[in-house]
Amino acid sequence: MTRLNIVLFAALVLSGLYLVRVSYEARHLFVEVERAQVEERALETQFEQLQIERRAQATPLRVEKVAREKLQMRTATPAVTHYATYAGAASAPEAAASGAQGERP
């Protein structure tokens, strides 16, 4: 009977130690989950701020201002517009018109 008591006592001590270890790991994991959730909220806030900043940077007025200042762009007016002509383009409408008239009876 004494041996059985010693074996049961050892099992009780080992299970108690295992229970303490598992509780410690559970608390440690819970703290890690809380930290991850705090970091997630911080990243979501930062992402929302970046989205707002991106929308503010992409407004048409800002894009036009940057195009004028940094890229030296200007609005197109007839005074600065250059038209390219194609030599074959002048004969193409005439050929199409004569071809269209030739098909009629």
Tokens at residue 21, please?
């270890």
| CA geometry: angle 31, 34, 23, nearest 5 deg | 30
pLDDT reading at 83 higher than 60: yes
Mean pLDDT value across the chain: 85
Residue 100 lies in a domain: no
Q: What is the pTM of this model?
A: 0.50
Tell me whether residue 85 is in a domain: no
Is the pLDDT higher at 67 or at 89? 67
DSSP for 10-73, written as a single string: HHHHHHHHHHHHHHHHHHHHHHHHHHHHHHHHHHHHHHHHHHHHHHHHT-HHHHHHHHHHTS--
Number of domains in the chain: 1
CB 55 within 8 A of CB 61: no
Distance CA 9, CA 13 (A): 6
55 assigned to some structural domain: yes
For 11-50, how does the pLDDT look when each residue is reduced to its tens digit (9 = 90+)? 999 999 999 999 999 999 999 999 999 999 999 999 999 9
In a domain, 104, yes or no: no
Asked, for residue 35, whether it belongs to a domain, the answer is yes
Domain with 39 in it: 2-77
Is 93 within a domain? no
In a domain, 46, yes or no: yes
